[in-house]
Each structure stands twice: as structure tokens, then as C-alpha cells.
Structure 1
């Protein structure tokens, strides 16, 4: 039992998962689950009680039963008590103060990584203002490598997302070339296939690999098929750079995706065996999103933000090149409006960075949410200030296959210019070498590079 009293009114929370849920800033998914605070006063009371909670409690009270959930076992069995030692005596509130202090720098946060459980990261995020989430996350950079170097300070990378409703090769190629000409694509050129058939995915992989090799682009490609499809493709020696999979924060949520931890391990080993990375071996690409466990009835009455952080506990065990929260994609049932989407994205990025992940974000919303592109402009800028590793580049910010709104190639350029950010260094050099940027690194409009001509004719 956890309790606090405010102006003579006592508030009681029967267990840790209830306290965590009630302390979460308002969002529609927790209301849908029936676990949200019933009033602003109850939410503040829960946040006050949470702030006074020792961090060590999270090592002794599992929100999802250890015996019944392999994600819980992964988190607790992988906890590093030596790394935890510097903050072992702190409460959640004291931990927030520690994170904000000037003496805690990037090295201190890096050393802490495996001393934190996802639940600890989620807890401290619940008592942070948006400004706190941005300031703390900006201290931490997480660098990964495959064919280029992602996550360096002063850099903002992007994924070209050239989806097509029928997987038409010309449509995919045209969208990808458009993105490259606008300086996007250093994180990955990644297609969500309309069909998950191995044959169709093989054709898309071959198309993207041909594009990359023809132009000698220092980036990586990915077809975001289910991991079992990708395993089949690797057995056929398809040009697989990265293994993609959506993941969740409970074993049951992952089962709803058709995966478990053993399958993820198998796929990572298969991708490493291909040895396609030029300068590194981060071969996994994960996507997450608040509300996925609830939508699968796999949430164990936990709040959606804490379960999102637990998904990061899964991801960090596989050394991914990329991970991103598709923050507004699941819909207003889980994040109702622009304000909730913004808060969730900043929480996700903050928790992921604390847990040592190369966090990206699909800054997005569905057309039936109470949000618009101005909300996305605001969020994109806030995330860039917070040091997000990468965001999406979608033609016109409108995905014609998945039918949702994201960020465009031009949005990436705007934020890079406003905040003096650059692409990954190897990719920036390639842009200069092919004549797409000038000596300062600014995009220019020269004659079309000769190497692009045959591809444009095909597109």
C-alpha cells in the first residue's frame, strides 16, 4: 500500500502498478484501460507519493510477474547492481534532481545504463516537466554503426520511408530518389511492404540494394517485414542489412506480434553472420508505440508509458542500430490529441536514452486524432533540441500506404538548418561528393548528378 495526504485528504494506492498508473500524465489509453487517475488531485497525490519512493523498490516489486513474463525476467536478471550503486540510496524525486544536476554528464549517464530498470526510467519521467525531459535527454548521445555513424552530437539523421500502396518498384524508387536529393536517408532507406510475402519483400530488398550500390551511398536499407519473413530471406541470401521487428513491453504483447526473445536472438545471429556492415555490427531495427500492449489485452493493468519503457528493456539487449517510437500511429484511443502525443514522445525519447538506446521517433498522427501538422512541427523541433537520433522523411509528410501523417523531407531540412545540425558524417561527405551540397554543407540545386540519371529513367 502506498499513500499520501494533501490538505487533509488521504490518497491510497494498493500496489506499485496502481501508483505508477495514477501518477502518469493524462492520456486516453490509460482512461480506456480504467487505470488512470480520476482527478488532477489524485494524479498529483500519486506523483508526490512516487517522488518519495526509493528506487530500490523496483528491484523487489515486479509490475508484471517474474514467473509469468520473460520480459520481466530479462530486465531483472540483466540488472547491474554495481552500475546502480551511485543512485541506490535515492528516491525517485532525488533521482530527478540528480539527473538535472550539472555534475551529471554524458559519461555518468552512460555508466548508469544497465543499473537502471525500465520501470525506474518510467517512474522518474512521470514527475518531470517537458523541459526536464528535454534537458536530461540532451545530455545523452547513443552512437551506433553499420555503414555510417549515427547518433553523434550535432547530427540529425532521417529515414527515407518510400512506401507504396502496391509495392510498385517505380513508385518506391521515385520516392527514395526524391529523399536522397533532399539530403535524407542516412539512418536507413526503409520500406513498409504492402505485402509480407517473401517473394515481394525479396524484390524490394533487391531494389533498395541496387539503389544503394549504384549510387555508392553510405547508408543501410531495410524492408520492414515480420522477423520470420526476414529469416526466410536471409536463408535465401537476400541482401538484408537490418532485421526489423515491432516489439512490446510484455511477453504477451510480443506473442501478439508473433515473436519471443528466442526468435529475436536467432534473427540477430543470422544477420550478424551475413557480415554486411562496413564499419559496425548493429543489425537490429525496432519500432514501438504506447498502447500496443493494451490493444492486445496484454498490459497486466499497467500504464502504457511504463510498458513502453519495458519494450526498451527488450530492445537494449539486442544492440540495435535504430529504434523509434511510432508515437501517434496507434490512434486517439491511446493518445488523444497533440498535447498527449507530444508528452508521450518526449517521455519515450527520455526513457530510451536513459536506457542506452539510439532513440528515434516517427513524429506522427492519424487523421482522426485531435492533432495537426503544427503539432508535429512543434514536436519535431522539441525532439531535435533533445538530441533525437533520427526522424522520418515521408514524401509530403503523408504516407500513402499506411494512411497517416508524419514528417517530410523538407521538415528534416528545416530543423537541421534551424539548429545547425548535419547528417551522419559519412553521408554528409557523400552528399558533397555527388554535388548535392556546397562547401558549407547546405543543399544546392546543381545539375543533376550523372549517377542519378539511369535511376530516374527507370523511375
Structure 2
């Protein structure tokens, strides 16, 4: 079997679907490093032409990673909804793209076919789309989740308040939390990456954030982004845990490199649900992903990094998460070389996640050794605002002093909300107004001089 395209006087043959998908991918350094990228732009176009003529039903007959050795593959096939797929079963990948772009294909119609779309189908159609196409379809694919507030509603943009500290110092973390809250960040989650992943530290941080949330009645949720097994131990010891966090990937071997499998994720989810800490919903999981992790772990099996990333979304979807985000430029230039590649990957990941029904956010970020700068991130940030991204990161000064990478700031969320007329989660919006941090006006902005606020006690509490 193979796929053949004639372009001019030259014939291109792609021996299998895995090769076809890899060759059709827009250029990125990770696929070049893996030796699976198209060698020329002409070869890439030939692969995209072949892919456009491929029927979606073919994806249901081919396992990119054999299921007998991969529980992610088994999950993808076992969870596929044939009834939902019947509405698009006659389409080629190219026709599927045209269908998604039609003006009368709206959010209601997309929601009806979601469970019939496999990650490989989503990845395939994204490879045929321009950046403009990715933005348009993402915009009409909202996904709403709930815990202590409602995230993902149209006209809303949330932000994760990320108060990381290189030594997990409570006063330093509290200062960042106060800064973020004063600028309207934190409705997605107040989420700390701990400097050390151990149970006592995690419990102490969880208790700290919970005391702030409870004392000031903040309608948001907390998370310490430790390993899932650490979260399980913390819950066993009575920690006030809201969300279980875990990094995940698109193959069983990749997840094994993270120290997880589907069974462990389900165990943690059930434990979190039993705590019953949500007030408006029970989405209790938070997942992070990123293109290139499969190659980094030697667990990609020749699958291109964007398709493997989309497969990770099948894992996330199984556990009904509150938040999912791609940390798009975090791994480094070995996988996404420059600003152009980071921008494209961010739009692809957001599109595939939304199309599959996930509450997608994006950590708009880069490492200092990548060929990228803050101007590139401003561009991606703005495009994601247009695309209806659920949430972004809020890092003090956009520079994470613990993880040593460049991300987005509290002011970046204000910028997006201002230019697109967006607001935070409705419950969080009401709280900001009630506490006098923001003023109700045509443009939802923080007060310049909020005066003496209850929130100023946060630093006093932690200083003692």
C-alpha cells in the first residue's frame, strides 16, 4: 500500500499513512531531527495533496502505533463514536477542511461530530489549513468547563496565575499572587510549579493557596503542579487539593516516561472527585502537553510531533479536565526552532484540542536559546485571542524565575481582554468588582488606585 502524487514531472510516493502525515506537516525542527520531515517544500506540497484526497474512514483502518503495545491507540479506537462519525464519514480530509470552514458549520454542528473525530483526523486536517483557517474554526469551537467558576464561555478569557518561586518561599509566592489578583489574573487557576516535588512541600503550598482562597472567598481553584502520584499521597494525607495535575503524551511509552498510565490517572481523578471541593462543577483534572516530548523521550515511533501531540488530547479527553494547555515553546529549538514554528504549533495545538472537545489554553512561551523573542509571542498571543483561547499564563513580568523561560504576564491578559472586549470568568468578574479591584465600565480594567484592600492582608499573613 502507498500514496502517490504526481507534481509536475515528478512522482512522489509515500509508503504508509505515518510517512504521509509526517511529510505533510509544516516545517519544524523536531521532525527534521527525527529524520521524518519532507526534504523539500515541493515534497511537502505533494504530501498535502495526497492527504487532501484521503478519506477520513481510512484512519479507522490504520493504527499509527500498534494497539497491542499501546493503550493510547486502544483508547482512541475504543472511544470512537461511529454514530457521530457517520455525519462526516464520506469526506476526504480536504472535504472535511471545507466543511469546517463553511459559514453554516457552527459550534452546535461541531459539537455533534466531535466524538467521531480521531486525533489523527484532527491532525491531518490541520496540516491542510492556513493559520487563518485554524483561527476561524477554533473560534467557533468553544468548550466550557467548571469547578469554582465557569471557564471557556464565548467572550471570556481566563488566566492561570503562576506565582512560581525558586525556593518555594511563601512570602515570595504571596507577593506574586497579590500582584496577579490585583491585575485580574487567576480565574483559570492559581497554579504553582513547585521547586521540589515532595509531599510535605506540596501539602504546605496547597494549604497556603487554599487559605487565601477561603479567607477572601475567591471563586477560583488551586493546583500545585506536582507528579500525579505526589497528588495522590497528598490527598491521602488530607491536603486541600482542588485539581490533579499531570504532563501527558500521545503514546503509552511516552506516558510511561512521565511515570503515568491511564489507570493511575483514573485513580487520581476518582480521589479528587470524592473530595467534592467544586462549587459549580466537577472538572478536577489539569493536563499539560507539548510538541516534541515524544522524540525527547524516544517514544514517538516515527510519528510526527504534531500528530503525536494530538493523540495526547485523547488521553486528556478521557478524564474530563477543567484545563488543558500546550506549553508550546518550552522544550526548545530542537523541536520548534524559531518564532514562526512556535506560532504555527500554538495555533495547531489549540485548533486540534478545541476540535476534539478540550478546554484548551496555551502557554505562549519560548526558551532563551530559541530563535524567538517577545514580539513573536505578542503575535501568537494576539492570534490566540482572536481564536477564542480559553486561557493563557500570567507570570510576573512574563519571566518565570523558577523554570527559567519566557511566557506571558498579567498585563498580557489585560491587553487581550481590552483589544477583543473579553472578560474573565463570570464568577471571578463579579468578585473583582465586589472587592473594588476593577471598575464596571465599557472596558473592564483594574482601578488605578484601589486603596486599602482586604487582599493586602495576604502579604501580612504570609510574612508572619
**TM-score scaled to structure 1, two decimals?**
0.99
Aligned pair in 2 of structure 1 residues 423, 269: CA closer, same or farther (>3 Å)?
Answer: same
* Distance across 1 between alignment mates of 2:266 and 2:169: 32
Q: Do structure 1's residue 456 and structure 2's residue 455 form an aligned pair?
A: no
Which position in structure 1 is the counterpart of 2:84? 83
Which position in structure 1 is the counterpart of 2:62? 61
Which position in structure 2 is the counterpart of 1:421? 422
Give the drift of 1:189.
Answer: 0.2
Cα deviation code 1:159-217 (max 9, x no counterpart): 00000001111111110110000011000000000000100111100110011111110
Give the drift of 1:237.
Answer: 1.2
* Distance across 2 between alignment mates of 1:431 and 1:7: 61
Which position in structure 2 is the counterpart of 1:213? 214
* Distance across 1 between alignment mates of 2:121 and 2:27: 19
* Distance across 2 between alignment mates of 1:253 and 1:85: 32
* Distance across 2 between alignment mates of 1:213 and 1:267: 23
Cα deviation code 1:109-147 (max 9, x no counterpart): 111111000000000000000000000110011000000
* Distance across 2 between alignment mates of 1:439 and 1:82: 46
Which position in structure 2 is the counterpart of 1:163? 164
1:288-299 equivalences under 5 Å are 288-299=289-300
Give the drift of 1:449.
Answer: 4.3
**TM-score scaled to structure 2, two decimals?**
0.98
Question: Does the CA contact (< 8 Å) of 2:414 and 2:445 recur in 1?
Answer: no
Question: Does the CA contact (< 8 Å) of 2:171 and 2:459 recur in 1?
Answer: no
Question: Does the CA contact (< 8 Å) of 1:157 and 1:184 recur in 2?
Answer: yes
Secondary structure of the residue aligned to 2:49 is helix
1:82-161 equivalences under 5 Å are 82-161=83-162
Secondary structure of the residue aligned to 1:86 is coil
* Distance across 1 between alignment mates of 2:388 and 2:375: 20
Secondary structure of the residue aligned to 1:334 is coil
* Distance across 2 between alignment mates of 1:385 and 1:316: 24
Secondary structure of the residue aligned to 1:301 is coil
Give the drift of 1:27.
Answer: 0.1
Give the drift of 1:439.
Answer: 2.0
Which position in structure 1 is the counterpart of 2:307? 306
1:228-247 equivalences under 5 Å are 228-247=229-248
Q: Do structure 1's residue 321 and structure 2's residue 322 form an aligned pair?
A: yes
Which position in structure 2 is the counterpart of 1:340? 341
Which position in structure 1 is the counterpart of 2:446? 443
Secondary structure of the residue aligned to 1:158 is strand
Structure 2 unaligned blocks of 5 or more: none
Question: Does the CA contact (< 8 Å) of 1:214 and 1:451 recur in 2?
Answer: no
Secondary structure of the residue aligned to 1:37 is coil
Give the drift of 1:447.
Answer: 3.8
Cα deviation code 1:310-353 (max 9, x no counterpart): 00011001100000000000000000000000000000000000
Question: Does the CA contact (< 8 Å) of 1:184 and 1:409 recur in 2?
Answer: yes
Which position in structure 1 is the counterpart of 2:264? 263
Aligned residues: 459
Question: Does the CA contact (< 8 Å) of 1:435 and 1:449 recur in 2?
Answer: no
Give the drift of 1:250.
Answer: 0.1
* Distance across 2 between alignment mates of 1:29 and 1:422: 36
Question: Does the CA contact (< 8 Å) of 2:178 and 2:456 recur in 1?
Answer: no
